[in-house]
Amino acid sequence: NAGVTQTPKFQVLKTGQSMTLQCAQDMNHNSMYWYRQDPGMGLRLIYYSASEGTTDKGEVPNGYNVSRLNKREFSLRLESAAPSQTSVYFCASSTKHSNTEAFFGQGTRLTVV
């Protein structure tokens, strides 16, 4: 049982390049999330998807776009990467919004130079 799978695990981008971080879950979860984690800042919510077909902004959405491709997959796109987007990105999923555990992927360490 893979759980939540993120790809890639590591990535180095040049400023201005674009890329898409992929996330897939095999637990039949309704809700999915994208977070970034920076030293001293905790986990900050970028975007979330309460259910298939819906997406909403979180705390730090600027510079990112998301797509809930289907129930399993939730991708995060950086259209024009900036050094400020250097971070560790985590995808997570949960069965429903309020009373259940969120499971996390292994993270993507992104460096923008």
Residues that bind other proteins (CB under 8 A): 31, 33, 35, 40-45, 48, 50, 56, 58-59, 90, 92, 94, 97-99, 101-102, 104-107
Q: How far apart are CA 55 and CA 112, in angstroms?
A: 26
Of 9 and 77, the one with the shorter C-beta distance to other proteins is 9
Closest approach, Cβ 48 to other proteins, in A, equals: 6
Instruction: Answer whether 41's CB lies under 8 Å from 61's CB.
Output: no
Closest approach, Cβ 99 to other proteins, in A, equals: 5
Closest approach, Cβ 94 to other proteins, in A, equals: 7
Environment class of 33 (CB within 10 Å of its CB; exposed 0-12, middle 13-18, buried 19+): buried
